[in-house]
Amino acid sequence: MRRLKGIHAVIAAAALAMGGCVVQDKTDDQAAAGGTTVTQQQPPAGQPAATPAPTPAPTPALPPPDLRLEVNVAERELYVYRNDQRIATHPVAVGTSEWPTQTGEWTIGQVVFNPRWTPPKEEEWAKDEEVKEPGAPDNPLGHAQLVYDAPRSIHGTNEPESLGKAESHGSIRIANSVAVQLSRMVMEAGGASRDEAFFEGVRSNRKERVEVAIPNPIPIRVVSGGSGDSGGGGSGEKGKSGETSKSGSGN
């Protein structure tokens, strides 16, 4: 019997060695409780140790877009710059003296084709207005909308005769064809390019609202007045983008 117990002890010791475990001596507390501690050993000799997963590299920051927009409220014009070179000028309608267009600096982070107009019911002038669905002839947002500080935006219009005048409720109106053209430019410069089939789709189905997020938002600056060609750092007020104002929430 003693011989059999000895054989069993040898077999048990061999099994523990092959399994990579070792039985440690009991501590005083463990001895009192009658317990045994089993700890995991390093991999057996000849086997490589597990290597930790590599830390993923941080996503590189996007380069500044080469496109930017500027609106001069006094001149009632919108300027398109590429690499600080003015490449286009478009007439706009801006807010009245009662509903002035807000000045400041923002970025355009969304383009909406065939937008839906929801009247701001908190505004007195809009209390009796109704929602205008995409494609509706009387939709004041027209064919496209460039959102920079919702609800503030540059958008098309169903009143092209207002361009060059101060007739909006604070928003910036442009011709429908220009709104679509600018939307496409913003998408391309902001990392959201689409193929020609996409633009044909939004043109052919005016009743379908289509949102496009701009991964690399496009800078826009709205100045109060002065020389039309501010060169990106001259005339007008700035820094009002954090103010609370009733301007820009209309059409």
Average pLDDT over residues 58-67: 83
Nearest to 209 by CA among 159, 152, 167, 147: 147
Given a cut of 70, is residue 49 above it in pLDDT?
Answer: no
End-to-end CA distance of the chain: 100
What pLDDT score does 24 carry?
47
Domain limits at 24? 2-40
Residues 152 and 212 in one domain: yes
142 within some domain: yes
SS3 103: coil
| pLDDT at residue 54 greater than cutoff 70 | yes
What is the tens place of the pLDDT at every residue in 190-238?
999 999 999 999 999 999 999 999 999 999 999 998 654 444 443 333 3
Q: How far apart are CA 214 and CA 222, in angstroms?
A: 20
DSSP secondary structure string for all residues of 210-251: EEEEEEEEEEEEEE-SS-S--TTTSSS----TTS--STTS--
Q: How many domains does the chain have?
A: 2
Regarding whether 203 and 145 lie in a shared domain, the answer is yes
Res 37: pLDDT: 52
Q: For strand 172-173 and strand 152-155, is the pairing parallel, antiparallel, or unpaired?
A: parallel
pLDDT band at 245 (very low <50, low <70, confident <90, very high): very low
This prediction has a pTM of 0.70
Residues 175-213: b if buried by 16+ CB within 10 A, e if exposed: bbebbbbbbbbbbebbebeeeeeeeeebeeebeebbebe
Q: Which of 54, 46, 94, 49 is nearest to 71 (CA)?
A: 94
Any domain includes 100: yes
Q: Is residue 62 part of a domain?
A: no
Contact 172, 156 (CB under 8 A): no
Does pLDDT of 41 surpass 80?
A: no
Q: Do both 88 and 211 map to the same domain?
A: yes
User: From CA 173, how far away is CA 154, in angstroms rounded?
Assistant: 6
CA-to-CA separations, 218 to 163, 178, 190, in angstroms, rounded: 23, 17, 6
- Please give the backbone phi and psi of residue 94, each rounded to the nearest 5 degrees, phi first: -120, 180
Within this chain, do residues 218 and 97 fall inside the same structural domain, yes or no? yes
Closest CA to 231 of 121, 73, 72, 52: 72
Is the pLDDT at 117 greater than 60? The verdict is yes
pLDDT of residue 47: 65
pLDDT digits over 121-173, tens only?
888 888 889 999 999 999 999 999 999 999 899 999 999 999 999 999 999 99
| Cβ atoms of 157 and 174 closer than 8 Å | yes
| Residue of 112 and 239 predicted with greater confidence | 112
How far is Cα 205 from Cα 39, in angstroms, rounded to an integer?
A: 69
Q: Are residues 86 and 130 in the same domain?
A: yes
One domain for residues 101 and 180:
yes
Give per-residue pLDDT as tens, 70-95: 999 999 999 999 998 999 999 999 99
Residue 243 has pLDDT above 50, yes or no: no
> Does position 35 have pLDDT exceeding 90, yes or no?
no
